[in-house]
Each structure stands twice: as C-alpha cells, then as structure tokens.
Amino acid sequence: MQIKGRIIARGKARGKALVCRDAISFLGGIDPKTGTVIEKGHALEGKNVAGTVLVFPTGKGSTVGSYVMLQLKKNGKAPAAIINATAEPIIAVGAIISGIPMLDKPEKDIFSAIKDGANVEVDAEKGIIIL
C-alpha cells in the first residue's frame, strides 16, 4: 500500500515503525546520546527512536529541539525517517538540518494505516509512504 504525503525534508529511508499518538518534544523528551525517550509518562517512555520510522501527530516544546535532533543524527541515534499528521516548525527544521526524511499531511489516517513495528519506507523525494 502507498500513502501520499507532503514533503517536509527530502530523502529516502526505511525501518520499523514506532507509532505514538502523543506529541513529542525532542528537548527533554529524548536523550540525544542514546535515542531513548525519557519524558516521564510519555507513551514511548523507555523506547528508542534510533533507526525507526517515527510516526507521531506533531512536535511540541522548545526550538532547541531541532538541535537535539541534529545531535541524535551526529550520534547515530536519530530516527531513519519521520511521519507527522501535521508538521510544526521545530520538528520540520530539525529534520531538514539533520537530513532526516520527513513527510506530513498523509492522505490517510496514519494511526490506522501504520501499525507499530511494521516495515515502512518513506520516499520523501516522491512524497509517498510505502507499507
């Protein structure tokens, strides 16, 4: 199955989906050295984003979160790709400066279409998600 989306940061990647209905703050929410979600009470607390196709509704928090994403990339702990229901500037800038392929505004409900652990390919050159 293919789902069309809007291109935020170009590139191609694939990985296992890590799906969450909670907004994510990279500053204080994810450890930039390990890629582990450290935000207390977050649905992904204790899980690792490294190499995943990270699927979540939108970002939240400080603009410094964009630089946390860059640090994750430099440490080899960044998500392989990001899919948002609606991108916001912090996550979009972070994906762009980090070279993380990113799409948003998918034509289908991503939380129904993409199951946690599914193999997902993000082609952010063509604007498609391949399941």
State pLDDT tens for residues 20-74: 999 999 999 999 999 999 999 999 999 999 999 999 999 999 899 999 999 999 9
Look up residue 127 and give its two tokens.
Answer: 């604007």
* Active-site residue, 66 included: no
Domain total in the chain: 1
Q: Active-site residue among 25, 62, 66, 112?
A: 62
Distances (CA, A) of 68 to 6, 92, 105, 114, 126: 23, 13, 24, 26, 27
Query: What is the per-residue pLDDT across 59-84, written as a single tens digit (0 to 9) for each?
Result: 999 899 999 999 999 999 999 999 99
Give the domain extent around 116: 2-130
Look up residue 77 and give its two tokens.
Answer: 């702990």
CATH number at residue 107: 3.50.30.10
